[in-house]
Amino acid sequence: MLVTALLSGLVLGGTYALVAMGLTLQYGIARIMNLAYGEMIISAAFLAYVIYTGYGINPVLGLLITIPAGFAFGYVIYGVMMKPLVARARDKASLEIDSILATFGLLFVIQGVLLVTFGANFTSYNYLNVAVELFGTNVAANRLLALVLALTVGGALYLLLTRTLWGTALRAVAVSPASAPLVGIDVNKAARYAFAIGGGLAAAGGVVISMYQTFTATSGVVFTMKALIVVIMGGVGNVVGALSAGLILGVVETFVATYVDPGLTLAATYGIFLAVLLWRPSGLFGRRAG
Amino acid sequence: MLEVSDLSLHYGHHAALDHVRIRVGRGETVVILGANGAGKSSLLKAIAGIRAPDRGASIMFDGRSLTDLPAHQVLETGIALVPEGRGVFGDLTVEENLALGAYAMRARAHAAESRAFVYELFPKLRERSSQYVNTMSGGEQQMVAIGRALMSRPELLMLDEPSLGLAPVVVGELFRSLGRIRERGLALLIVEQNVRMSLSIADRGYLAEAGRITGEGTAESLMNDKAVQQAFLGGAA
């Protein structure tokens, strides 16, 4: 039972980590607190559903469509909605308030479109829903694949941010936005790309979720909340922090559900969140970028 | 090379700069002397594109107007600023800071060569290349800031109070390094409270007071000027 719980905890945690990495880029680099983030995740889940059930393209191959779509959506939304807010913002705090209000509106626009298109029913599809034996226990292949995808995308993002000059420039904007122009970084451009990459990660997260969970047009807010908790736990703008914190949260939730009481899962989540906010407000891992 | 005229800058109703006119020739080292609040930092920020000057200002660099360029584009023209408080990326390593120094298009192809010069100038940075900058001493962080600026291959290097908060022995080292940078043919524009040190490596200097340029002269004449001695050099060793 321990191995089973640990594995499903890691699957859930990998998903949390994946979606949180996108939010931490959007919040940490672009300074946009995107409340419509969960809706971007669910949109991608529906897109994966459509291209799998409608066109027979499996969700993993479909990532070649969904991730670029998420990136493009983020890029356009930043240009249309966020850029004017950034241009008129007097300081970081006023941009934060404006972006929270604007994305709060965007949340309902996207949700409305999804409701009209797909209805309010629970949606799911069958993909690789077969048992695989691992460490003496049975796991659904799609769950295992979800974990592998989350770790692969997370690893690729980590390499992009730490091993390339462009990624290092993004981290520089996260840690010292005022100094970035001194080395020739166009902060607005960096913010736009960070927001777009966040959109790509939200899409990847949505696809992974759709592979093993049921979802509805209104389940986005849960993912925004979970992602936000993971982002705060990992430290804003800290990708490795988000990856670790996501895995921890997934495992803790699953253990509480398995060994204590499933009804206490959310309580445990918010308990951790409050503890982090009170005692380690800059995150569990200290350093802000990396 | 750099020609600034009619440069005014207001923060609300407060005039930080009032019709400032300065010039820096190719390879020349120029120092701006003045008390706190004389507008020296604002001047460097306006040139670097960090603060937009009032309308009517003219900032020309090699015949090109910088007045409307944002900071990241000013850097591409060959002007680098080491700001007050250094502005290093404290959460990144020395090596990452230097790599980002060569982020500008003009600098990328020459990064290895520039890095070799920076490490030759500041051997300590080579030893500490994988250390996080915010764990280093003030003097070492200043080396990172100057090294990072040099990585962009500037023709004009501007430094805002580089000796601020450093121990006297470190200040001596710092100015020796600036002397070596000067020998490479770079022009330097330095705002500094350490008047004696900065005049010792400068060709010329300006006196700034309440946002205005109130005097100028060769480093030698300023060093011997009664008013300068009284205002800045009097009493102090």
ipTM of this complex: 0.91
Q: Name B132's bridge partners.
A: B93
Of the CA atoms within 13 Å of residue A59, those in its CB half-sphere come to 29
Q: Is the pLDDT of residue B232 over 90?
A: no
Q: Residue A284: inside a domain, yes or no?
A: no
Least confident of A229-233, B29-33, B85-89, B192-196: B192-196
Q: Over the stretch B53-65, which tens digit does the pLDDT of each residue have? A: 999 999 999 999 9
CATH assignment at residue A93 = 1.10.3470
Whether A160 and A201 have beta carbons less than 8 Å apart is answered as no
Choose from B92, B148, B152 for mutation: most chain A CBs within 10 A: B92
Helix (H) or strand (E) holding B17: strand B14-24
Choose from B74, B84, B89 for mutation: most chain A CBs within 10 A: B89
Q: Residue A160: inside a domain, yes or no?
A: yes
Read off the pLDDT band of A2 (50, 70, 90).
Answer: confident
The span from the first CA to the last CA of chain A, in angstroms, equals 35
Whether B150 and B178 have beta carbons less than 8 Å apart is answered as no
pLDDT value at residue B235: 46
Alpha carbon distance B170, B172 (integer Å): 5
Q: Residue A232: inside a domain, yes or no?
A: yes
Task: For chain B, list the domains and their CATH numbers.
Answer: 2-233 (3.40.50.300)
DSSP A163-195: HSHHHHHHHHHHH-TTTGGGGT--HHHHHHHHH
Average pLDDT, chain A: 93
pLDDT value at residue B234: 61
Tell me B12's DSSP state. Answer: T
Of the CA atoms within 13 Å of residue A156, those in its CB half-sphere come to 12
User: Which residues of A are less than 8 Å from B90 in CB distance?
Assistant: 175-176
Alpha carbon distance B153, B156 (integer Å): 9
Number of Cβ within 10 Å of residue A8's Cβ equals 23
Q: Over the stretch A75-92, which tens digit does the pLDDT of each residue have? A: 999 999 999 999 998 888
Q: CB distance from B121 to chain A under 8 Å?
A: no
* Residue closest to A105 by CA, chosen among A39, A195, A36, A42: A36
Q: Residue A37: inside a domain, yes or no?
A: yes
Whether A79 and A195 have beta carbons less than 8 Å apart is answered as no
Is A181 close to B76, i.e. CB distance below 8 A? no
By the 10 Å C-beta count (0-12 exposed, 13-18 middle, 19+ buried), B116 is classed as exposed
Q: Residue A288: inside a domain, yes or no?
A: no
Alpha carbon distance A253, A274 (integer Å): 15
Alpha helices by DSSP H, listed for B102-218, are: 105-108, 111-121, 123-127, 138-151, 168-183, 195-201
- Which structure tokens are listed for B113? 């060569």
Q: Is the pLDDT of residue A272 over 60?
A: yes
Q: Over the stretch B32-49, which tens digit does the pLDDT of each residue have? A: 998 888 899 999 999 999
Is A176 close to B80, i.e. CB distance below 8 A? no
Q: Residue A285: inside a domain, yes or no?
A: no
Whether A22 and A198 have beta carbons less than 8 Å apart is answered as yes
Read off the pLDDT band of B230 (50, 70, 90).
Answer: confident
User: Which residues of B are less than 8 Å from A184 in CB distance?
Assistant: 72, 75-76, 103-105, 107, 152
Alpha carbon distance A160, A137 (integer Å): 35
pLDDT value at residue A129: 87
pLDDT value at residue B65: 96
Q: Is the pLDDT of residue A289 over 50?
A: no
For chains A and B, CB pairs below 8 A equal 75
pLDDT value at residue A174: 92
Q: Residue A151: inside a domain, yes or no?
A: yes
A96-107 mean pLDDT: 95
Q: Over the stretch A253-264, which tens digit does the pLDDT of each residue have? A: 999 999 999 999
Q: Is the pLDDT of residue B137 over 80?
A: yes
Read off the pLDDT band of A22 (50, 70, 90).
Answer: very high
Q: Residue A287: inside a domain, yes or no?
A: no
Is B99 close to A172, i.e. CB distance below 8 A? no
Q: Over the stretch A144-198, which tens digit does the pLDDT of each residue have? A: 999 999 999 999 999 999 999 999 999 999 999 999 999 999 999 999 999 999 9
Q: Over the stretch A110-130, which tens digit does the pLDDT of each residue have? A: 999 999 999 999 999 989 888
Q: Tokens 């001596």 belong to which residue?
A: B172
Residues 159-198 of B with CB under 8 A from A: none
Return the SS3 of B91: coil
Name, in order, each residue with C-beta under 8 angstroms of A162's C-beta and a sequence gap of 6 or more.
Answer: A168, A171, A290
> In terms of residue numbers, what domain contains A210?
2-279
DSSP chain A: -HHHHHHHHHHHHHHHHHHHHHHHHHHHTS----TTHHHHHHHHHHHHHHHHHTT---HHHHHHHHHHHHHHHHHHHIIIIIHHHHHH-SSHHHHHHHHHHHHHHHHHHHHHHHHHHH-SS-B---SS--EEEETTEEEEHHHHHHHHHHHHHHHHHHHHHHHSHHHHHHHHHHH-TTTGGGGT--HHHHHHHHHHHHHHHHHHHHHHHHHHS-B-TTTHHHHHHHHHHHHHHH-TT-HHHHHHHHHHHHHHHHHIIIII-GGGHHHHHHHHHHHHHHH-TT-TT--S--
Read off the pLDDT band of A286 (50, 70, 90).
Answer: low
Q: How far is CA A87 from CA A92, A170, A179, B55, in A?
A: 12, 19, 18, 20
- How many independent structural domains does chain A possess? 1
